[in-house]
C-alpha cells in the first residue's frame, strides 16, 4: 500500500531534462503531493509566484541562470526565503554539498534520484518545516 501524506504539499521540480521532471512528478504525485514542473529559471520564478511551492527540487545545472544563482535570489527575497530548496545534481564531487548549502539550499541529493527514497526525503524536509502538532503535515 502506498503511504499518502495528510495534506497536499506543493512541490516544484525545476529541471531542464523533461524525462527527469516527469519521473519525479509521477513518483511524488503518486504519494499525494501536488507537483508542478519548470525547465528553467524564468519558468521557475513564474511557478513560484502562481503556485507558491513549499519545496523546490532544484537542478543545479540549468540553462541561463543556474540553480544555485536562482536559489540565492529566492533566499534573498523575504517573500520566498522560507521555501525549502533541495539541490539535485549529477555532479556529485567533493565540496559540492558545501557549495550548494552555501548558496542557500536546505539539502542536497545526487542524481540519479532514488525514486524509492525521494518521497520520504521530501516528507522529512517538509516535516522539519512543519513540526508535528502544528496541524500542517
Number of domains in the chain: 1
Question: Which structural domain range is residue 27 located in?
Answer: 10-125
| CATH code of 44's domain | 3.40.50.2300
Asked if 2 and 134 touch (Cβ cutoff 8 Å), the reply is no
C-alpha span between 114 and 122 (Å, rounded): 12
In a domain? residue 107: yes
* Model pLDDT, residue 92: 64
> What does the block give as the cell for 53?
511551492
Does residue 61 lie in a domain region?
yes
Assess if residue 75 is contained within a domain.
yes
90 versus 83: which is more confidently predicted? 83
Q: Is residue 37 very low, low, confident or very high in pLDDT (cuts 50, 70, 90)?
A: very high
Q: What's the pLDDT at 111?
A: 87
Sheet with strand 107-110: strands edge to edge: 34-38, 10-14, 55-59, 84-89, 107-110
Examine residue 117 and state whether it is found in any structural domain, yes or no.
Answer: yes
Q: What percent of the chain has pLDDT over 70?
A: 87
Residue 6 binned pLDDT confidence (cut-offs 50, 70, 90): very low
Is the model's pLDDT at 87 over the cut of 80?
Answer: yes
Q: Alpha carbon 35 to chain centroid distance?
A: 10
Place of cell 519548470: 38
Distance CA 32, CA 10 (A): 10
In a domain, 1, yes or no: no
pTM of the model: 0.88
Say if residue 3's pLDDT is above 70: no
Q: 61-65, 90-94, 96-100: which has the minimum mean pLDDT?
A: 90-94
Q: Is residue 112 part of a domain?
A: yes
Kind and range of the H or E element at 20? helix 18-30
Instruction: Please check whether residue 3 lies inside any domain of the structure.
Output: no
- Residue 46 · residue 38 · CB < 8 Å: yes
- Residue 135 located in a structural domain: no
Nearest partner of 14 among 54, 60, 52, 82, judged by Cα:
60
pLDDT tens, 9-24? 999 999 999 999 999 9
Amino acid at each position: 500500500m502506498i503511504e499518502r501524506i495528510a495534506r497536499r504539499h506543493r512541490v516544484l521540480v525545476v529541471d531542464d531534462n523533461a524525462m527527469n521532471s516527469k519521473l519525479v512528478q509521477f513518483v511524488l504525485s503518486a504519494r499525494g503531493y501536488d507537483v508542478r514542473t519548470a525547465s528553467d529559471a524564468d519558468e521557475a520564478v513564474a511557478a513560484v509566484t502562481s503556485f507558491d511551492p513549499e519545496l523546490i527540487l532544484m537542478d543545479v545545472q540549468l540553462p541561463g541562470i543556474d540553480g544555485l544563482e536562482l536559489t540565492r535570489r529566492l533566499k534573498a527575497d523575504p517573500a520566498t526565503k522560507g521555501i525549502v530548496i533541495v539541490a539535485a545534481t549529477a555532479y556529485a564531487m567533493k565540496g559540492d554539498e558545501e557549495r550548494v548549502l552555501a548558496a542557500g539550499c536546505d539539502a542536497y541529493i545526487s542524481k540519479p534520484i532514488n525514486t524509492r527514497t525521494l518521497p520520504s526525503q521530501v516528507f522529512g524536509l517538509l516535516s522539519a518545516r512543519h513540526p508535528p502538532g502544528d496541524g500542517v503535515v
